[in-house]
Structure 1
Amino acid sequence: MKHIYISLLLFLAFLFSSCAPATPAIQPTQANPPTLVNTLTGPAPTQVFNSMNMLEIPAPSLSNNLIGEPTERTIYIYLPPSYNTSDKYYPVVYYLPGYTDSTMIGVRLPGDLDSLIESEKVKEMIIVVAGGNNRLGGGFYVNSPVTGNWEDFIVKDVVEYIDSHFRTLPQAESRGISGHSMGGFGSLNIAMRHPDVFGAVYSLSPGLFDENGLEESLFAREVTIKSFIGYENNLAALPLEEAAGRMLSSPDRFGLAYGYAFAPNPDRHPPYFDYPYSEVDGQLVRDEVVWKKWESGFGGIADEAVQYKDNLLKLKGIVVDYGTADENRWIPKGCVYYGEQLSAAGIPVKLESYNGNHGGQIGTRIRDYMLPFFSTLLTFE
């Protein structure tokens, strides 16, 4: 495992390097840069750290992926002001960035957190930013035989590394998980499946479908479908190795990433996932079984509320925060539907809506709502 030194200038450049996806499905908002960066030279608990640290950690959960994803990942960790001058142990909030993003957007680290703590708006806590950005822009924080086990990367690789290298309170009651957009979906999904690891979740503008969400998304547009069928046919005409080498070249990178996450099929000819449409005699034909796989990615909420009810009831808090003017019109509908389905199943959930778009106010939502939520709810001893 290697630790690397990266200058402040390089780190600032990195933070501003996020690019928008080829399709306007879920776009990140740029972050404000941190003012101080440190890299780790060892795990000793007495080591003196900077407030903001950049780490390269092992990611064994991503081994054996089929797209050449590295098994070392960069994460960021914020340490509260008293970390170097006390022997305290701290709760941890894990933040999952959105598609193509690697930052806590709209938040200046460490300055904003230091100010919130100094003004006693939030208690001292550790913040970990662990991105799911891969060669296609995102792994959606789910396990896939094609792109790697991104859920396990967060739940196992990242959490275990942080607990073994820093003074954390290693219990679910002292861990929160949050995220924006793709990361908002990931935070809800991971909290639902792992209440033994995370005790509360605050999701920001998450990718969620209601019962008609997939139909209303870009995935169901004829121009998108025909473009992908053409791409798939081109790969089918190539030998296996050549097709595998070109399979990441789709103009619809978001759709490609989504398919790898939710309908992977490593046993078929590249692109290694099942697509719900084909063209027969000039007509589009939909495979309903495969369509269900795609629908269950950001959707399937009603079934999950029943299947994971006991897990969801173990969480100390579930909040879904979204802008009513989100450019992705299916997201507000999906958030409302999520709240309705959990409430109908007897699972406490809170919806926080505001007049805003997909990413423009996320920094404010994090500072004024998400961080105080965890400060109130997590166990600090």
Structure 2
Amino acid sequence: MRPELVFEAVPGLTLQGNPLGDPAERHVPVYLPPSYHASNTKRFPVIWLLAGFASTGMSFLNFGFGRPTVPEMLDSLIRRGEMPETIIVMPDCMTRYGGSQYVDSAATGQYESYLTGELIPHIDRQFRTLPSARHRAVAGKSSGGFGALRLGMRHPELFSAVGCHSGDMDFELCYRPNFPVAARILEKYKGDIAAFFTRWESLDKKPRSEFALLDMMAMAACYSPDPSKPAPGNMRLPFEPRACQLVPEVWEHWKRFDPLTMLEASTCQDALGSLRQLFLDCGSQDEYNLQFGHRRFSARAAELGIAHRYEEFPDTHADTSYRYRISLPLLAQAIAG
């Protein structure tokens, strides 16, 4: 018996006519465990694995010297008996701006609705899944960790386990420090974010020095869209570019998406409290200050009596996919049949 990686074509009816003209049909990698084809009746639990910003489902398959791909890691964990056999789905929620944050936005498209209302039912129809929340988990890193935690808080009817690796949270610390950086880059384009993005798209080699503005633009498209403006540029920045002053009404809109803000809602507390497994971790030297937000989230969850497991490890933000060796077996055990 051998595991298999297949690529499922999903029509993406929810994404048709999206504001950025991104493709509606997506090809989604699906990892099938070793005994999947040994029986025509056996069903399997599912982990939905969400990629970070500027990455997508295909990114989990990238070869790196001395480092296993996620499917290779899964093969090893299952072969050694450290993880129950589980289907792993790696969605494609990429946009022209670099990512969707897995939210519904008038500037990018209905990616939360696509994943929860279209993609999950499609996978349950096409593969032998155990099609219930009891047997379904969601996990991810960075923007994927944010998406996993937020979806877990908003959709307890779909997920019973959540894994959040270095997920975006405490927006005051993880986003606001980059406002001046983005403003300085925007100054080169006379404050015209559409001019910046048009040039960015035209370049064969994207300038790393300008990535902070792309990231800020993408977050604004997700958290504070402005459909009255044409794309690119159909969003409201949370700061006034010239003096880099905060725009309070826009910033308040952003903060509604912050997991620390969401945690204060009783519905989110109930959703997290109902989980069979809630796992969070973060590098203690995270460059985006996410370790501080995770510490606050863990402390508040403990105050609320929400069972969870939080770990820190001595590393930064990048290249920490090895931490899936910890979370994926825990999630798989929680949702096993």
TM-score interval for Structure 1 and Structure 2 normalised by the shorter chain: 0.7 to 0.9
1:58 to 11, 19, 43: 11
Tell me the equivalent position of 1:94.
48
User: Aligned AA for 2:237?
Assistant: Y
- Paired position in structure 2 for 1:377: 334
Secondary structure at 2:153 match in 1: helix
Look up the equivalent residue of 1:77 and give its one-letter code: V
- TM-score (ref. length: structure 1): 0.76
**Is 1:257 aligned to residue 218 of structure 2?**
yes
In the other structure, the counterpart of 2:75 is 114
Change (3 A) 1:97 1:274: same
Look up the SS of the partner of 1:179 in the other structure. strand
Equivalent position of 2:273 in the other structure? 313
1:69 aligns with 2:27: no
Which residue is equivalent to 1:342? Answer: 301
Following the alignment from structure 2 to structure 1, what is the Cα–Cα distance between the partners of residues 152 and 68?
23
Identity of aligned residues (%): 29
Aligned pairs, number: 318
Runs of 5+ unmatched residues, structure 2: 203-209
Could you tell me how far 1:83 is from its partner in structure 2?
Answer: 0.9
Gaps (5+ residues) in structure 1?
Answer: 1-47, 237-242
Corresponding residue of 2:235: 273
Work out whether residues 78 and 109 of structure 1, in 8 Å CA contact, stay in contact via their aligned partners in 2: no
- Aligned AA (2:98): G
Scaled by the length of structure 2, the TM-score of the pair is: 0.85
2:245 & 2:282 partners in 1: Cα distance? 34
Q: Deviations over 1:259-288 (max 9, x none)?
A: 100001102465221223336xx6444321
SS where residue 74 of structure 1 aligns? strand
Compute the displacement of 1:231 (Å).
Answer: 4.5
Please say if residues 171 and 255 of structure 2, whose CA atoms lie closer than 8 Å, have aligned partners that are also in contact: no
C-alpha distance in 2, partners of 1:214/1:138?
16
Deviations 1:68-87 (A, max 9, x none): 11111121011111111112
Cα offsets for 1:180-220 (capped at 9, x unmatched): 111011000111100110110011111112654443x31x2
> Which digits, 9 at most, give the CA deviation of each residue in 1:155-181, with x for residues without a partner?
122211110001000010100110111
1:126 partner letter: I
| Residues 248 and 269 of structure 1: CA distance in aligned 2, closer, same or farther (over 3 Å) | farther
Residue aligning to 1:225: 183
Give the Cα separation in 2 of the matches to 1:180 and 1:303: 19
- Assess if the C-alpha contact under 8 Å between 2:3 and 2:75 holds in 1: no
The answer to whether 1:186 aligns with 2:147 is yes
Cα distance in 1, alignment partners of residues 215 and 193 from structure 2: 18
| 2:205 alignment counterpart | none
Q: What are the equivalent positions in structure 2 for 1:188-207 lying under 5 Å apart? A: 188-207=149-168
Deviation of residue 304 (structure 1)?
3.2
Asked if structure 1 preserves the Cα contact closer than 8 Å seen for 2:256 and 2:262, the reply is no
Superposition CA RMSD, Å: 2.7
Quick one: structure 1 residues 284 and 187, their matched pair in 2 at CA, closer, same or farther if it must change by over 3 Å?
closer
